[in-house]
Amino acid sequence: MSEQAPATETQVEAAEFETGTDGPLVGIVMGSESDRATMEKAGTELEEHGISFEIQVMSAHRSPDLVATYSKEARARGLRVIIAGAGLSAALPGVVAAHTDLPVIGVPLAAKSGVMNGLDALLSVAQMPPGVPVACVGVDNARNAAVLAARILGA
């Protein structure tokens, strides 16, 4: 095994900037306040892994401009993974993925007026067109989204 020369201060600063250690590494977004209780489980899991995160409500249908701006600016803000949860016609994870090349993990949610306990959202999240991937966890399984994010980040 070869020994590496110690990093200079400049290299360390650059590495910190690249990995966004000053801000959150994971963005958790959801389509509605009614999704919050389920999606907060992702935050709890990230905390256990020592991974910084932020949580925001934004809807692919009700606030599409906000979703586009958030997604386009995510990488430059230091985010490295986005977890997006939505119910019903769950477009949020896919729309986020359309606007960023960061890995997006979709959480299909079983909304109150959903079909077959979240099957509508599950299909909406999983059935992305070729070239625009969304990693899809199980219905309401926000915790698994966080575990997957931790693995992507190697944390």
- Report if residue 150 touches ligand RP5, rule: CB under 6 A: no
- Report if residue 28 touches ligand RP5, rule: CB under 6 A: no
Among 83, 88, 137, 147, binds ligand RP5 (CB under 6 A): 88
Task: Locate all alpha helices (DSSP H) within the chain, ordered by sequence.
Answer: 9-19, 36-48, 64-73, 92-99, 119-126, 142-153
How many residues bind ligand RP5, per CB under 6 A? Answer: 11
- Report if residue 34 touches ligand RP5, rule: CB under 6 A: yes
- Report if residue 142 touches ligand RP5, rule: CB under 6 A: no
We find the least distance from the C-beta atom of residue 5 to ligand RP5, in angstroms, to be 50
CA angle 85/62/77 to nearest 5° reads 60
- Report if residue 32 touches ligand RP5, rule: CB under 6 A: yes
We find the least distance from the C-beta atom of residue 21 to ligand RP5, in angstroms, to be 31
- Report if residue 45 touches ligand RP5, rule: CB under 6 A: no
Distance CA 128, CA 4 (A): 43
CA 15 from chain center: how many Å?
A: 22
- Report if residue 128 touches ligand RP5, rule: CB under 6 A: no
Q: What is the phi/psi pair of residue 126, to 5°?
A: -80, -30
* Comparison of 31 and 43: residue with beta carbon closer to ligand RP5: 31
* Comparison of 32 and 141: residue with beta carbon closer to ligand RP5: 32
Nearest in space to 29 (alpha carbons), one of 70, 83, 73, 74: 83
CB-facing half-sphere around the CA of 123: CA atoms within 13 A? 8
Name the residues that contact ligand RP5, by CB under 6 A.
Answer: 30-32, 34-35, 59, 86-88, 109, 111
